[in-house]
Amino acid sequence: MARNRYQVPTKKNQSFTLNITSMTDMFTILLVFLLQSFSAGEVTLEPVGGVRLPSSNTEKNPINGVKLSISPTELKYEETVVARIQNNQVEASAIDSSDSNFIKPLFDQLEAFNKKDPTLAKTGKVLLQADESLPYSTIRKIMYTASMAGFPNVKLVTTVSN
């Protein structure tokens, strides 16, 4: 004896509507996530002559900030030479006599920048291009002075390695 298969009773003349609320919510969440992870601002840094940057890999997007560079011969704020470097050390005339880690001319430049552009200064970010041959003690003096001037967030600039 053959059995009949069960069929769901349907009404004739019934219209079908697509409920896309859930799909809209999903796409909205996806859009918000993608917008938050996308960096709209572009940071342009020109490598300073005489500075060999170390190589590194990162997934984070670059940020904008005050640009400092230190080569084997000079320390620069933006394009201005702040102090000379001799034997991988900041020249003695730029170091404060009461604090051996404090670079007075760099502090003065950063203080002037604080007064000139308080919006960028509030972020407290510094982009530091440092030659890979310089010792950490020299770089630490720059980071110490920047933090004393109100720029505690130092980002080291590197070249991208593959």
Domains of the chain, by residue range, sit at 55-160
The mean pLDDT of 96-114, rounded to a whole number, is 91
**Residue environment code for 14-53, b if the CB has 16+ CB neighbours within 10 A, otherwise e:** eeeeeeeeeeeeeeeeeeeeeeeeeeeeeeeeeebeebeb
pTM score, whole prediction: 0.62
The SS3 of residue 110 is helix
pLDDT exceeds 80 at position 162:
no
Residue range 55-160, CATH number: 3.30.420.270
**What is the distance between the alpha carbons of residues 27 and 147, in angstroms, rounded to a whole number?**
43
Residues above pLDDT 70, as percent of the chain: 77
Residue 32 is predicted with a pLDDT of: 87
Name the residue with higher pLDDT: 146 or 23. 146
Name the residue with higher pLDDT: 55 or 79. 79
The mean pLDDT of 70-80, rounded to a whole number, is 90
Name the residue with higher pLDDT: 59 or 28. 28
Per-residue confidence at 121, pLDDT binned at 50, 70, 90? low
Name the residue with higher pLDDT: 99 or 59. 99
**What is the distance between the alpha carbons of residues 70 and 82, in angstroms, rounded to a whole number?**
10
Residues above pLDDT 90, as percent of the chain: 21
Q: If you average pLDDT over every residue of the chain, what do you get?
A: 81
pLDDT exceeds 90 at position 158:
no
**What is the distance between the alpha carbons of residues 132 and 137, in angstroms, rounded to a whole number?**
13
The SS3 of residue 161 is coil
